[in-house]
Amino acid sequence: MATPVTSIKYVGPSQANALAAAGIHDAETLREVGAHEAYGRMLATGHSPHFIGYYALVMALQGRPWNDCKGQEKEDLRVAFDDLKNARHDKGRSELEAALDMIGVIDPKIRR
Per-residue 3-state assignment (H helix, E strand, C coil) for 29-56:
HHHHHHHHHHHHHHHHCCCCCCHHHHHH
Dihedral-angle region of residue 38 (phi above 0 means left; psi in -120 to 50 means alpha; beta otherwise): alpha
Q: How does pLDDT run across 35-93, given as a tens digit for each residue?
A: 999 999 999 888 889 999 999 999 999 999 999 999 999 999 999 999 888 877 655 55
Contact 65, 10 (CB under 8 A): yes
Mean pLDDT of 88-105: 63
Domains of the chain: 5-110 (1.10.150.20)
Whole-prediction pTM: 0.77
Q: How does pLDDT run across 4-44, given as a tens digit for each residue?
A: 999 999 999 999 999 999 999 999 999 999 999 999 999 98
Predicted pLDDT at 93: 59
